[in-house]
Structure 1
Amino acid sequence: MAPPSKRRPGFSRRAQYGLFLGYVIAVAGILFAVMLLVVATIDPRGFAAIRGAALDATTPVSSGGRSIVRLFTGGGESIGNYFNAAATNGQLKRELAATRRRLVEARAIEFENRRLKRLLKLSETVSNRVTTARIVGSSFDSSRRLATLAAGSSDGVRAGQPVRAPEGLIGRVLETGRWASRILLITDGGSNVPVQLVRNGTPAIASGRGDGLIDLKTLEVGESPFKRGDIVVTSGIGGIYPPLVPVAIVIKADRDATVARPLADPARIDFAIVETIYQPAASAPVNEAEAAQAEASE
């Protein structure tokens, strides 16, 4: 039978020395604590100096330990940020897209408000207004250029009445129903509008091309007076359209043809104003007897 493994520490001189050293350190610690207690009681200023020296001695150790802790903590945060970068990037992209959508909506609302303000101002200044209604549709895929207005005979709309927007002339009423009417746009091939050049008053005819543009033809023979960027307005000749309503801007002017773009695009206009048919003031008839008498008196 094997002998038991428990032995007293006295069998090893190294163990004896270790045990003795432990006792010595414990007794020294107790004596040092008692000494500090006595010094703190008898000489508080000296004890404060001892505490300051101890603080100075332990500060480098504390600083080194804190640096090590920061190193491992910062490394952990960097690793976490690296793995979370994809999720954070995706969230930022979604927030940016949402901000852009809100910005577009705000700009659209601002543009609509400005346009409605111009329409309201125009409605207040136009004395021959019949009604203001919404444009609910327009044709783009056919040879005819027509638009549908959400107002009809019940609103006082009649065939032949001019239709305009704050930007300029749209066309004239072609036919009416009770609650809706059809507009012949100035870009239709069957539309002819008497106009004049704003720059020098040259009269012309604005004829629709059927492709969204307008041909300008002067009533005078000779060199074309039009230049790129010129604006033409209605002249009021022949009635129907009142004078000085903006019609189009010249985008091409050469010897062969003058092409203009209408200032009022039905595709971008929500509301339009229907006006009464313009009738030029007729000159008063002259009485032949009164004219002869005036000549005799002269």
Structure 2
Amino acid sequence: MKRDTFGAIDIGSNAIRLLINYIEDYEDGHVEYKKAAFVRVPIRLGDDAFLRGHISSAKIEALCDAMQGFSALLRAFGTHDYRACATSAMREASNGGQIAELVRSCSGISIEIINGETEADTIFAAGGLKETLDPQKTYLYVDVGGGSTEIVVYARGSKVEARSFRLGTVRIFSGAEAPAEWLHFEEWLREVARTWHPSGIIGSGGNINKTHKLLEKKSRECIHAKELNALYNRLRAMSVAQRMEQLYLNQSRAEVIVPALRIFTDVLCICQIDTILVPRMGLADGIIHELYRQYHHLL
């Protein structure tokens, strides 16, 4: 058995995350990804980016502090390689490029600001879903983040369409989304439903992962539309404080889970889909899978 160590940093609109994995490669070709460390810091870059168009000095300082800590952890675990990716908030902030340079100067970590389609492709690649989904059916891969929602249409085992919408949990909670974006979102979904007749959703993002746990689902067990609608109606009738007290959610999650479920219930309803498969994989998982494949290919 051979063991390698890789790291990934996901700089999202709601939180930034560091994931370090041990990857064990056995002689029979079997590969196991084992979590060595995971750190999540809810800096909420989107609060600034979506309302003001730039990220404030206070949040920049918090980001630099976190990235310096992440850099130390990457060294301590002896990672072979890592990659740091930033998504919607950094894409839209007028000072996103300046922040990336500042982070590189203070921590040594280079940030890659990626587009929505790259983000969705990277996450999807981590789930091993191509081997489990029916190649004769069509699926919607739906990733709901803090600043944007990425949807990829997979038909007959291949990607046929992809769109990124400026609808995300932090953006909606902050009241920074444009009403016209909801119209574009729903019109596009209706066209996808008419053209491709999707039979299921693959759900991605911290909020659908938490929903899967709240519904006490087992691994690979689907969420049904009726269950999701019932939970959505229950949660939106509660205050943030009640969600924290009764469901043991942290404040950040208690604030953004309802906007996330609004997006998922919209997709289910418009496309007349009944099930959501939740592989519980995120951008950081996808980054590590890609790094390992690149490293293994070079050997």
Task: Using structure 1 for the length normalisation, give the TM-score.
Answer: 0.24
Larger radius of gyration: 1
Bigger relative CO (Cα 8 Å, ≥ 6 apart): 2
Greater helix proportion: 2
